[in-house]
Amino acid sequence: MRTIWADGEARRFTLFVFVSMLAYAMQDLILEPFAGLVFGLAPGASTQLSGVQHGGVLVGMIVAGVGGGAFGGGRGEGGETRGLRWWIGGGCLGSAAALAGLALAARIGPGWPLTANVALLGLANGVFAVAAIGAMIALAGRGQAEGRDQAGLRMGVWGAAQAIAFGLGGLLGATGVDLGRSRIDSPATVFTLVFLAEALVFVVAAALAMRRAGRQQDMTPVARARRRLDDL
């Protein structure tokens, strides 16, 4: 584990996985209560809204898998597809925009196109998720290609980061709503604050992904080789 953590690439990707999955999961437990409390939807209708989101996730995964080549082809320096980083960043920023839309929806109420907003959130979530999986697979194989049999350890570390962040994100989102409602009389205001916080976390995740992509693209071959030596 010390060897894995000493690898700068693996360490940075672990941080990205944790931050992005934290943002991804924060709305998981509060979307249906939001639809019921703010938009007055019945339980059946709010459950259908979750189905719309999951359908959007599926479409986003297909779009990223086909358009971004998430599971093969065109790998560049560092054993990964540089283009995947931009798909990841775009998916995270799209998710942030959709969550900002939900924050606005909380202020406007039933006049807002909630179904379309949730579908957009699912689409962006799917794009970033499948592109991140593609980058994860590429990075896991990088150590093996360099003579270090660490693919399983890398995947284990990233899987643990994902699982911890997913559970913690759901807890934080639900707890944030409960704490907010105990201090603020307006449910709309509470959901606005929580959704904006989620959007901010997604922006941070996008910055982590796109910063690395920009640095790789701007580097000369000598600088990239020096960077890899520094990571080791």
CB distance 34 to 180 below 8 Å: no
What does the pLDDT look like over 146-169, one tens digit per residue?
Answer: 556 678 888 888 999 999 999 999
What pLDDT score does 10 carry? Answer: 84
What pLDDT score does 60 carry? Answer: 95
Over range 37-43, report the average pLDDT.
Answer: 94
One-letter-per-residue 3-state SS of 14-66: HHHHHHHHHHHHHCCCCHHHHHHHHHCCCHHHHHHHHHHHHHHHHHHHHHHHH
| 10 vs 94, more confident | 94
Residue 229: pLDDT band (50, 70, 90) is very low
What pLDDT score does 77 carry? Answer: 46
Residue 176: pLDDT band (50, 70, 90) is very high
Is the pLDDT assigned to residue 73 strictly greater than 50? no
